[in-house]
Amino acid sequence: MKVDGGLGTQDIKKAASAAAANEAAGYDGLWTAETAHDPFLPLSVAAAATDRVELGTSIAVAFARNPMLLANTGWDLQYLSGGRFILGLGSQIKPHITKRFSMEWSKPAARMREMVSAVRAIWDCWLNGTKLDFRGDFYTHTLMTPFFTPPAGQLADVGPPKIYLAGVGELMTEVAGEVCDGFICHGFTTERYLREVTIPALERGRQKAGRTLDGFDIVGPSFVVTGSNEDEIEAAKAGTRQQIAFYGSTPSYKGVLDIHGWGELQGQLNRLSKEGKWVEMGDAIDDEILHTFAVVAEPEGIAPELSRRYGDVINRVSFYAPYASDPDRWQPVMAALKAV
Protein backbone atom coordinates (compact mmCIF):
# COMPACT_ATOMS: atom_id res chain seq x y z
CA MET A 1 0.00 0.00 0.00
CA LYS A 2 1.30 3.44 -0.91
CA VAL A 3 1.37 6.02 1.87
CA ASP A 4 0.95 9.68 1.01
CA GLY A 5 1.51 12.89 2.92
CA GLY A 6 0.33 16.44 2.67
CA LEU A 7 2.22 19.37 1.23
CA GLY A 8 0.84 22.48 2.85
CA THR A 9 -0.08 25.47 0.71
CA GLN A 10 0.01 28.09 3.47
CA ASP A 11 3.61 29.15 2.83
CA ILE A 12 4.96 28.47 -0.65
CA LYS A 13 8.44 29.51 0.52
CA LYS A 14 8.54 26.31 2.59
CA ALA A 15 7.25 24.00 -0.15
CA ALA A 16 10.66 22.94 -1.44
CA SER A 17 12.15 22.02 1.94
CA ALA A 18 8.93 20.33 3.08
CA ALA A 19 8.71 18.26 -0.10
CA ALA A 20 12.35 17.18 0.12
CA ALA A 21 11.95 16.22 3.78
CA ASN A 22 8.81 14.20 3.12
CA GLU A 23 10.42 12.41 0.21
CA ALA A 24 13.39 11.54 2.42
CA ALA A 25 10.96 10.29 5.08
CA GLY A 26 9.64 7.73 2.61
CA TYR A 27 6.27 9.04 1.52
CA ASP A 28 5.10 7.80 -1.87
CA GLY A 29 3.01 10.86 -2.75
CA LEU A 30 2.47 14.43 -1.61
CA TRP A 31 -0.84 16.24 -2.04
CA THR A 32 -1.90 19.87 -1.96
CA ALA A 33 -5.42 21.16 -1.36
CA GLU A 34 -7.19 24.18 -2.77
CA THR A 35 -8.11 26.20 0.31
CA ALA A 36 -6.61 29.65 0.95
CA HIS A 37 -3.95 29.32 -1.76
CA ASP A 38 -3.49 27.93 -5.25
CA PRO A 39 -2.89 24.16 -5.20
CA PHE A 40 -0.61 24.02 -8.25
CA LEU A 41 2.11 26.55 -7.45
CA PRO A 42 3.61 24.64 -4.47
CA LEU A 43 3.85 21.55 -6.64
CA SER A 44 5.96 23.37 -9.20
CA VAL A 45 8.40 24.23 -6.42
CA ALA A 46 8.22 20.70 -4.99
CA ALA A 47 8.88 19.11 -8.38
CA ALA A 48 12.26 20.82 -8.61
CA ALA A 49 13.17 19.78 -5.06
CA THR A 50 12.32 16.05 -5.37
CA ASP A 51 13.20 13.10 -7.57
CA ARG A 52 10.91 10.18 -6.69
CA VAL A 53 7.74 11.17 -4.85
CA GLU A 54 4.48 11.61 -6.79
CA LEU A 55 2.89 15.06 -6.62
CA GLY A 56 -0.82 15.74 -6.86
CA THR A 57 -3.74 18.00 -6.07
CA SER A 58 -6.31 16.75 -3.60
CA ILE A 59 -8.11 18.55 -4.81
CA ALA A 60 -8.06 21.36 -7.38
CA VAL A 61 -11.54 22.81 -7.93
CA ALA A 62 -12.42 21.75 -11.46
CA PHE A 63 -15.37 24.05 -12.03
CA ALA A 64 -13.34 27.11 -11.07
CA ARG A 65 -11.40 26.51 -14.30
CA ASN A 66 -11.89 25.32 -17.86
CA PRO A 67 -10.41 22.28 -19.63
CA MET A 68 -7.76 24.28 -21.51
CA LEU A 69 -6.38 25.81 -18.32
CA LEU A 70 -6.28 22.41 -16.63
CA ALA A 71 -4.62 20.87 -19.67
CA ASN A 72 -1.92 23.56 -19.71
CA THR A 73 -1.18 23.33 -16.00
CA GLY A 74 -1.25 19.54 -15.96
CA TRP A 75 1.08 19.33 -18.96
CA ASP A 76 3.64 21.69 -17.45
CA LEU A 77 3.66 19.99 -14.04
CA GLN A 78 3.98 16.57 -15.67
CA TYR A 79 6.96 17.83 -17.66
CA LEU A 80 8.54 19.61 -14.71
CA SER A 81 8.21 16.57 -12.43
CA GLY A 82 9.37 14.05 -15.02
CA GLY A 83 6.05 12.23 -15.09
CA ARG A 84 5.18 12.33 -11.38
CA PHE A 85 2.15 14.63 -11.43
CA ILE A 86 -1.43 13.55 -10.67
CA LEU A 87 -4.25 15.92 -11.56
CA GLY A 88 -6.72 15.45 -8.73
CA LEU A 89 -10.02 17.20 -9.33
CA GLY A 90 -13.16 17.84 -7.33
CA SER A 91 -16.40 19.64 -8.02
CA GLN A 92 -16.78 21.58 -4.75
CA ILE A 93 -20.37 22.49 -3.91
CA LYS A 94 -22.68 24.90 -5.69
CA PRO A 95 -22.43 27.91 -3.29
CA HIS A 96 -18.64 27.99 -3.63
CA ILE A 97 -18.70 27.69 -7.40
CA THR A 98 -21.36 30.35 -7.95
CA LYS A 99 -20.68 32.72 -5.04
CA ARG A 100 -16.92 32.36 -4.40
CA PHE A 101 -15.63 31.67 -7.90
CA SER A 102 -18.50 33.30 -9.85
CA MET A 103 -18.66 30.36 -12.24
CA GLU A 104 -21.49 28.31 -13.71
CA TRP A 105 -23.01 25.31 -11.95
CA SER A 106 -25.22 22.74 -13.62
CA LYS A 107 -25.39 18.95 -13.81
CA PRO A 108 -22.09 18.48 -11.95
CA ALA A 109 -21.56 14.80 -12.77
CA ALA A 110 -22.23 15.26 -16.49
CA ARG A 111 -20.14 18.42 -16.56
CA MET A 112 -17.23 16.66 -14.83
CA ARG A 113 -17.34 13.75 -17.27
CA GLU A 114 -17.16 16.19 -20.14
CA MET A 115 -14.43 18.28 -18.53
CA VAL A 116 -12.14 15.28 -18.04
CA SER A 117 -12.83 14.08 -21.57
CA ALA A 118 -12.03 17.53 -22.94
CA VAL A 119 -8.73 17.71 -21.06
CA ARG A 120 -7.76 14.32 -22.48
CA ALA A 121 -8.71 15.45 -26.00
CA ILE A 122 -6.46 18.49 -25.66
CA TRP A 123 -3.56 16.38 -24.42
CA ASP A 124 -4.09 13.96 -27.31
CA CYS A 125 -3.91 16.87 -29.73
CA TRP A 126 -0.67 18.13 -28.25
CA LEU A 127 0.98 14.76 -27.81
CA ASN A 128 -0.15 12.93 -30.94
CA GLY A 129 -1.09 15.70 -33.36
CA THR A 130 -4.76 14.68 -33.36
CA LYS A 131 -7.07 17.39 -34.69
CA LEU A 132 -8.72 19.20 -31.79
CA ASP A 133 -12.45 18.82 -32.36
CA PHE A 134 -14.12 18.45 -28.98
CA ARG A 135 -17.78 19.44 -28.98
CA GLY A 136 -19.83 18.91 -25.86
CA ASP A 137 -22.81 20.29 -23.99
CA PHE A 138 -20.66 22.36 -21.64
CA TYR A 139 -17.27 22.76 -23.34
CA THR A 140 -16.20 23.19 -26.94
CA HIS A 141 -12.55 23.14 -28.07
CA THR A 142 -11.98 23.30 -31.81
CA LEU A 143 -9.09 25.74 -32.27
CA MET A 144 -5.44 24.86 -31.79
CA THR A 145 -2.52 26.32 -33.76
CA PRO A 146 1.22 25.52 -33.51
CA PHE A 147 1.83 28.77 -31.61
CA PHE A 148 -0.30 27.50 -28.72
CA THR A 149 0.84 23.85 -28.85
CA PRO A 150 3.55 22.72 -26.40
CA PRO A 151 6.33 20.50 -27.81
CA ALA A 152 5.13 16.90 -27.91
CA GLY A 153 8.62 15.75 -27.01
CA GLN A 154 8.23 17.12 -23.50
CA LEU A 155 5.94 14.23 -22.55
CA ALA A 156 6.94 11.70 -25.17
CA ASP A 157 8.61 9.45 -22.60
CA VAL A 158 6.15 9.81 -19.71
CA GLY A 159 2.77 10.51 -21.29
CA PRO A 160 0.10 12.82 -19.89
CA PRO A 161 -0.73 12.96 -16.17
CA LYS A 162 -3.10 10.61 -14.45
CA ILE A 163 -6.43 12.16 -13.53
CA TYR A 164 -8.05 11.32 -10.21
CA LEU A 165 -11.49 12.50 -9.15
CA ALA A 166 -12.82 13.05 -5.66
CA GLY A 167 -16.45 12.51 -4.82
CA VAL A 168 -19.07 11.40 -2.36
CA GLY A 169 -22.29 10.97 -4.34
CA GLU A 170 -22.92 7.97 -6.55
CA LEU A 171 -23.18 9.85 -9.86
CA MET A 172 -19.83 11.62 -9.45
CA THR A 173 -18.24 8.39 -8.27
CA GLU A 174 -19.49 6.60 -11.39
CA VAL A 175 -17.91 9.32 -13.51
CA ALA A 176 -14.58 8.71 -11.80
CA GLY A 177 -14.78 5.03 -12.64
CA GLU A 178 -15.73 5.75 -16.21
CA VAL A 179 -13.22 8.42 -17.30
CA CYS A 180 -10.50 8.71 -14.63
CA ASP A 181 -7.43 6.79 -13.48
CA GLY A 182 -8.21 6.93 -9.79
CA PHE A 183 -10.66 8.00 -7.11
CA ILE A 184 -9.98 10.09 -4.02
CA CYS A 185 -12.32 9.11 -1.22
CA HIS A 186 -13.52 12.12 0.72
CA GLY A 187 -12.41 12.18 4.33
CA PHE A 188 -16.11 12.06 5.20
CA THR A 189 -16.33 8.40 4.25
CA THR A 190 -16.87 5.34 6.39
CA GLU A 191 -15.94 1.74 5.76
CA ARG A 192 -19.59 0.82 5.25
CA TYR A 193 -20.22 3.66 2.80
CA LEU A 194 -17.05 2.79 0.90
CA ARG A 195 -18.02 -0.84 0.52
CA GLU A 196 -21.76 -0.48 -0.04
CA VAL A 197 -21.90 2.73 -2.12
CA THR A 198 -18.51 3.89 -3.40
CA ILE A 199 -17.04 0.64 -4.73
CA PRO A 200 -20.24 -0.46 -6.53
CA ALA A 201 -20.52 2.99 -8.14
CA LEU A 202 -16.90 2.83 -9.30
CA GLU A 203 -17.51 -0.63 -10.73
CA ARG A 204 -20.54 0.63 -12.67
CA GLY A 205 -18.42 3.40 -14.12
CA ARG A 206 -15.64 1.01 -15.09
CA GLN A 207 -18.18 -1.27 -16.75
CA LYS A 208 -19.41 1.65 -18.88
CA ALA A 209 -15.83 2.09 -20.06
CA GLY A 210 -15.41 -1.66 -20.65
CA ARG A 211 -12.90 -1.98 -17.83
CA THR A 212 -12.53 -3.37 -14.31
CA LEU A 213 -11.06 -1.89 -11.15
CA ASP A 214 -7.75 -3.63 -11.86
CA GLY A 215 -5.12 -0.92 -12.16
CA PHE A 216 -7.52 1.75 -10.92
CA ASP A 217 -6.16 3.66 -7.93
CA ILE A 218 -8.32 4.28 -4.86
CA VAL A 219 -7.02 6.75 -2.28
CA GLY A 220 -8.60 5.78 0.99
CA PRO A 221 -10.32 7.64 3.80
CA SER A 222 -7.95 8.52 6.58
CA PHE A 223 -9.26 10.31 9.67
CA VAL A 224 -6.80 9.25 12.36
CA VAL A 225 -6.95 10.10 16.07
CA THR A 226 -3.81 9.33 18.01
CA GLY A 227 -1.30 10.73 20.49
CA SER A 228 1.47 9.77 22.87
CA ASN A 229 -0.56 10.48 26.01
CA GLU A 230 -4.15 10.97 27.13
CA ASP A 231 -4.10 14.75 26.78
CA GLU A 232 -2.84 14.55 23.18
CA ILE A 233 -5.45 11.95 22.28
CA GLU A 234 -8.26 14.04 23.77
CA ALA A 235 -7.09 17.09 21.84
CA ALA A 236 -6.98 14.98 18.67
CA LYS A 237 -10.50 13.75 19.30
CA ALA A 238 -11.78 17.31 19.71
CA GLY A 239 -10.20 18.51 16.49
CA THR A 240 -11.46 15.50 14.55
CA ARG A 241 -15.00 15.79 15.96
CA GLN A 242 -15.18 19.36 14.71
CA GLN A 243 -13.95 18.42 11.24
CA ILE A 244 -16.44 15.56 10.98
CA ALA A 245 -19.19 17.93 12.11
CA PHE A 246 -18.16 20.52 9.52
CA TYR A 247 -18.44 17.98 6.71
CA GLY A 248 -21.62 16.53 8.18
CA SER A 249 -23.32 19.91 7.97
CA THR A 250 -23.09 19.81 4.15
CA PRO A 251 -26.37 18.67 2.54
CA SER A 252 -24.53 16.95 -0.31
CA TYR A 253 -22.88 14.56 2.15
CA LYS A 254 -26.06 13.52 3.96
CA GLY A 255 -26.05 10.15 2.23
CA VAL A 256 -23.05 9.05 4.29
CA LEU A 257 -24.98 9.75 7.49
CA ASP A 258 -28.15 8.18 6.11
CA ILE A 259 -26.55 4.80 5.59
CA HIS A 260 -25.80 4.67 9.32
CA GLY A 261 -29.21 5.98 10.39
CA TRP A 262 -27.84 9.39 11.38
CA GLY A 263 -29.50 11.45 8.66
CA GLU A 264 -31.28 13.80 11.08
CA LEU A 265 -27.89 14.90 12.39
CA GLN A 266 -27.15 16.69 9.10
CA GLY A 267 -29.94 19.21 9.62
CA GLN A 268 -28.86 19.82 13.20
CA LEU A 269 -25.26 20.42 12.19
CA ASN A 270 -26.31 22.66 9.32
CA ARG A 271 -28.36 24.86 11.65
CA LEU A 272 -25.49 25.13 14.12
CA SER A 273 -23.07 26.06 11.35
CA LYS A 274 -25.30 28.91 10.22
CA GLU A 275 -25.35 30.14 13.83
CA GLY A 276 -21.55 29.94 14.03
CA LYS A 277 -21.69 27.42 16.87
CA TRP A 278 -18.61 25.45 15.89
CA VAL A 279 -17.87 24.02 19.36
CA GLU A 280 -21.44 22.82 19.72
CA MET A 281 -21.15 21.14 16.33
CA GLY A 282 -18.18 19.11 17.52
CA ASP A 283 -20.02 18.16 20.69
CA ALA A 284 -22.78 16.64 18.55
CA ILE A 285 -20.33 14.00 17.25
CA ASP A 286 -20.55 11.24 19.85
CA ASP A 287 -18.06 8.42 20.34
CA GLU A 288 -19.91 6.02 18.04
CA ILE A 289 -19.81 8.49 15.17
CA LEU A 290 -16.19 9.43 15.88
CA HIS A 291 -15.03 5.80 15.87
CA THR A 292 -17.00 5.08 12.70
CA PHE A 293 -15.35 7.87 10.71
CA ALA A 294 -11.91 7.77 12.34
CA VAL A 295 -9.34 5.24 13.42
CA VAL A 296 -8.84 6.03 17.10
CA ALA A 297 -5.77 4.28 18.45
CA GLU A 298 -2.28 4.66 19.86
CA PRO A 299 0.35 4.92 17.09
CA GLU A 300 1.10 1.20 16.99
CA GLY A 301 -2.59 0.38 16.51
CA ILE A 302 -3.24 2.66 13.53
CA ALA A 303 -1.78 0.55 10.72
CA PRO A 304 -3.52 -2.70 11.74
CA GLU A 305 -6.90 -0.97 11.99
CA LEU A 306 -6.53 0.91 8.70
CA SER A 307 -5.53 -2.35 7.06
CA ARG A 308 -8.48 -4.21 8.59
CA ARG A 309 -10.98 -1.62 7.39
CA TYR A 310 -9.63 -0.81 3.96
CA GLY A 311 -6.67 -3.01 3.07
CA ASP A 312 -8.53 -5.07 0.46
CA VAL A 313 -10.18 -2.14 -1.34
CA ILE A 314 -7.67 0.75 -1.43
CA ASN A 315 -4.08 0.90 -2.64
CA ARG A 316 -2.93 4.22 -1.22
CA VAL A 317 -3.73 6.08 1.97
CA SER A 318 -2.89 9.33 3.72
CA PHE A 319 -3.35 10.50 7.29
CA TYR A 320 -6.08 13.07 7.85
CA ALA A 321 -5.21 14.55 11.24
CA PRO A 322 -6.95 17.94 11.71
CA TYR A 323 -4.93 18.80 14.82
CA ALA A 324 -1.34 19.58 15.81
CA SER A 325 0.88 16.48 15.92
CA ASP A 326 4.52 15.43 15.86
CA PRO A 327 5.54 14.50 12.28
CA ASP A 328 7.81 11.75 13.62
CA ARG A 329 4.75 10.00 15.04
CA TRP A 330 3.73 8.88 11.56
CA GLN A 331 7.00 7.17 10.62
CA PRO A 332 6.30 3.76 12.25
CA VAL A 333 2.71 3.92 11.00
CA MET A 334 3.92 4.49 7.45
CA ALA A 335 6.43 1.65 7.67
CA ALA A 336 3.74 -0.75 8.90
CA LEU A 337 1.31 0.26 6.14
CA LYS A 338 3.91 -0.09 3.41
CA ALA A 339 4.36 -3.69 4.51
CA VAL A 340 0.70 -4.42 3.77
- 97 has a pLDDT exceeding 80: yes
Helices (H), the chain: 15-25, 41-49, 67-81, 94-95, 108-128, 170-179, 191-193, 199-208, 230-248, 254-258, 263-274, 278-283, 287-293, 299-310, 330-338
Q: Which of 9-18, 64-73, 306-315, 316-325 has the lowest mean pLDDT?
A: 316-325
Q: Which domains does the chain possess? A: 2-227+298-338 (3.20.20.30)
As a whole number of angstroms, the distance between CA 321 and CA 302 comes to 12
Mean pLDDT value of segment 112-129: 98
Give residue 71's pLDDT band: very low, low, confident or very high (50, 70, 90). Answer: very high
Average pLDDT across the chain, whole number = 94
Q: What predicted TM-score, i.e. pTM, was given to this entire model?
A: 0.93
As a whole number of angstroms, the distance between CA 4 and CA 180 comes to 19
> pLDDT value at position 323?
64
Q: Are 198 and 296 spatial neighbours (Cβ–Cβ below 8 Å)?
A: no
> pLDDT value at position 267?
96
DSSP letters of 227-250? -SSHHHHHHHHHHHHHHHHHHHT-
89 φ/ψ angles, rounded to the nearest 5 degrees: -115, 155
> pLDDT value at position 9?
77
- 33 has a pLDDT exceeding 80: yes
pLDDT, tens digit, 9 for 90 and up, residues 125-157: 999 999 999 999 999 999 999 999 999 999 999
Mean pLDDT value of segment 53-81: 98
> Could you tell me how many residues make up the chain?
340
- 299 has a pLDDT exceeding 90: no
> pLDDT value at position 324?
63
> pLDDT value at position 340?
65
Q: Which of 99-108, 143-152, 327-336 has the lowest mean pLDDT?
A: 327-336
pLDDT, tens digit, 9 for 90 and up, residues 172-217: 999 999 999 999 999 999 999 999 999 999 999 999 999 999 999 9
Q: Which of 4-8, 283-287, 321-325 has the lowest mean pLDDT?
A: 321-325
- 322 has a pLDDT exceeding 80: no
As a whole number of angstroms, the distance between CA 260 and CA 292 comes to 9
Mean pLDDT value of segment 245-271: 95
- 289 has a pLDDT exceeding 80: yes
> pLDDT value at position 166?
97
